[in-house]
Structure 1
Amino acid sequence: MKHKYPFQSISVSTKEKQEDIRNIKLWLSHQPHIPSISDEFILLFLHSCYYSSERTKDTIDNYFTVRAQCPDLFRGRDTKAILEQLELYDMMALPTLTPDNYRIVMYRLRDDDVNKFNYPAALRTFFAVNDLYISEDGLMDGYVVVFDMTGLNFGYLAKVSTQLSLVRNFMVYIQDCHPVRLKAIHVINTYPLIDKILSLMKPMMHGNLLEMIHLHPTLDTLTEYFPLSLLPADYDGGKTEAVQVHQDHTRRLVNKYSSWLKDFEQFEANEKKRVGKARKDLVGAELGGSFKTLSID
């Protein structure tokens, strides 16, 4: 079964793009463990890797390998379950690009009842929504992530502390598999516990990712990076509030492409078909430490 690309965001018309794609397809013809994917999807990987052939090959292999090794994060994309999770979190791809032509994607808690928090389900929804964002955007110059920590309390972190392997798998995917040009991560409305969380996560981060992270106790310092007018109305931004942006765009995408999301579950590496040794170096390593060992001021 070949990967379908129902989005209209990517054109493979130029000769340069077609040649790049042919080179990757030739390599893919010798990688029986990787599923058959569309030209548009190949171009998405090429673009995210700045058209480096070797980086693109590594990223494609990593992408499908991790998706196969982490079924709890990439399978079970039931539309009803995703929409239920989207009642607990606001996930938004903001409509206006930054002056650098980057897309801002924003995440925050909507319901701070920790008893409703299911970490694997939250990550599964995050990845499903991000698959939609990047597919609809196509060859975006870059992405800026904004996490609003309002409502996050130690109860959430205590739950996450029992599932640190999921944290690691998340970090592996974001750093080594995700076909996007990530430019910055801004964490807003921070408080002292955030520093301790980051200290725990640093061993899982590459140096370039650490350099992208910016902490903002208030919105004031965020203006050094882009105008607040690009944010929703409840952040001193545009006319539309975050909840409405979330409802109008994200939920619409999930409903519109529900079949595609479900079908995409089966596009993962088949280690039985891999030429050479199976890969076990990406996910599954044991992790030390726990959020429970952190002291709270």
Structure 2
Amino acid sequence: METIPKNRMFEYRDDTMKFVREQYNLNTPARINQAIDILEDWIKKQCHFGKTDFSREYLERAIIICKGSTEKAKKKLDKTCTFRTLMPAFFEIHNPRDLVKEYDNIVIDGFLPKLTKDHYRVYVLRNIGKRFESSFSNYYKFTIMLCEYLQRYDYCNGILVLFDYRETNIMELLKNISIMELRQALTIVVEGFSFRIKGLHFLTSSKTIETFINMVVKQVLNEKLVNRIHVHKDISTLKEHIPLEILPVEYGGKEKSMEKIHNELIDELSTKEFMDYLQEMSAAKTDESKRQTDKFYEQYLGTPGSFRSLSVD
């Protein structure tokens, strides 16, 4: 594609496409088309793929996410399709409103419309729950749906994540988290979708955040991503990583409120266009009886039901 298609949720800087492509030596149409051709030809030869007709826009985004490497993009697509087969519950198609309704008084989240100066997309999760009476299973499914949306529509340099836990009872949160379920969900996000996470930022003055990070976060992430964790007691240090002007108004920024961003996101995910897209992508699984080698399992999954540490670019 020659320009980034307009999207109701995302805004881009004037030079976003040029900036991102140039980082990976894909700064001419010939180079990006050659990379897509290579990936497209490889997909057609994968007899274990249930879907081989991915759009060229989808494949370009896969290559960009994988830092311009077609070899990494091949592994990414294989992993995503395999995870749809091995862990189908996370990819079940539900109305997003149904998935998040039990968290209405707990979670407000969404993507910030504007990119940072270095073209990173910011995801904000504001947790306002004091008590948690249900698991986060449906929220993990919702998170996978967000990943599908990013892969389909966004074009950026990577992701910055902000967890706002200022109003959260962290010990109560800790009691309701299944480490195995969280590990599986994050494996899909980081290994399957291969999103480049530049940083994980926790906004809280609670001293129990260290317990949460040690007991939960460090159990499911590898050392490289653990080293990208930042804890902020207030906004003053947060703005060193995320420009103030792109933050929502409740964080002292110029962007619309998190509640409005969240509601618009739910509306967007609920459209027939995106629901049809999820239905189309549900075919992107694998038939393991047709896979030519078992090296994928040995290298990436280990024994069934276990998951190795997440790798991060």
**Bin for the TM-score computed over the shorter chain:** 0.7 to 0.9
In structure 2, the residue matched to 1:234 is 250
Listed as ranges, the gaps of 5+ residues in structure 1 are 1-6, 288-297
Please tell me the residue identity of whatever aligns with 1:103.
Answer: R
What amino acid maps onto 2:112 in structure 1?
Answer: L
RMSD: 2.8
Is this contact kept in 2: 1:146–1:186, CA < 8 A?
yes
Residues 221/8 of structure 1: CA separation in 2 closer, same or farther (3 Å cut): closer
Greater alpha carbon shift after TM alignment, 50-59 vs 81-90: 81-90
- 2:149 equivalent among 105, 109, 132: 132
CA distance in 2, matches of 1:133, 1:175: 13
TM-score (normalised: structure 1): 0.82
Return the letter of the residue paired with 2:145. Answer: A
Offset at residue 80 of structure 1 (A): 4.1
Q: What are the ranges of 5 or more consecutive residues in structure 2 without an aligned counterpart?
A: 8-16, 18-25, 309-313
Q: Which residue of 2 aligns with 1:268?
A: 285
CA contact (8 A) 2:203 2:231 kept: yes
SS in 2 for 1:92: strand
Cα 1:230/1:80, change in 2 over 3 Å = closer
CA distance in 2, matches of 1:98, 1:188: 18
Residue 209 of structure 2 corresponds to residue 205 of structure 1: no
Query: Residues 222 and 121 (structure 1 numbering): CA distance in 2 closer, same or farther, change over 3 Å?
Result: same
Report the counterpart of residue 192 of structure 2 in structure 1.
177
Change (3 A) 1:79 1:207: closer
Match of 2:121 in 1: 103
Listed one character per residue, the Cα deviations across residues 30-76 of structure 1 (whole Å, up to 9, x for unaligned) are 32222222222221111111111221222111122122211221114
| Residue 21 (structure 2) aligns with | none
Cα distance per residue 1:2-30 (max 9 Å; x no partner): xxxxx7679x9922122111111222223
Q: Is 1:285 aligned with 2:306? A: yes
Other-structure match for 1:60: 77
AA partner of residue 230 (structure 2): H
Distance 2:140 2:45 in 1: 32
CA distance in 1, matches of 2:189, 2:284: 18
Identity of aligned residues (%): 20
**Counterpart-to-counterpart distance in 2, 1:182 and 1:164:** 20
TM-score (norm 2): 0.78
Q: Tell whether the 8 Å contact from 2:93 to 2:278 is kept in structure 1 after alignment.
A: no
Letter in 1 for 2:226: L
**Structure 2 CA distance for partners of 1:239 and 1:226, relative to 1, 3 Å:** closer
- The 5 Å alignment of 1:1-297 reads 14-34=29-49, 35-36=51-52, 37-82=54-99, 84=101, 87=104, 88-115=106-133, 117-137=134-154, 139-149=155-165, 150-160=167-177, 163-200=178-215, 201-238=217-254, 240-248=256-264, 250-256=265-271, 257-277=274-294, 279=297, 281-282=300-301, 284-285=305-306
Q: Distance in 2 between matches of 1:218 and 1:111?
A: 19
Aligned-pair CA distance for 1:188: 0.9
Pair 1:231–1:152, CA change in 2 (3 A): farther
Could you report, residue by residue, the CA deviation over 1:231-265 in whole angstroms, capped at 9, with x for unpaired residues? 111111125221112113x0221122233234433
Change (3 A) 1:101 1:221: same
Higher relative contact order, chain-length normalized (CA < 8 Å, sep 6+) = 1
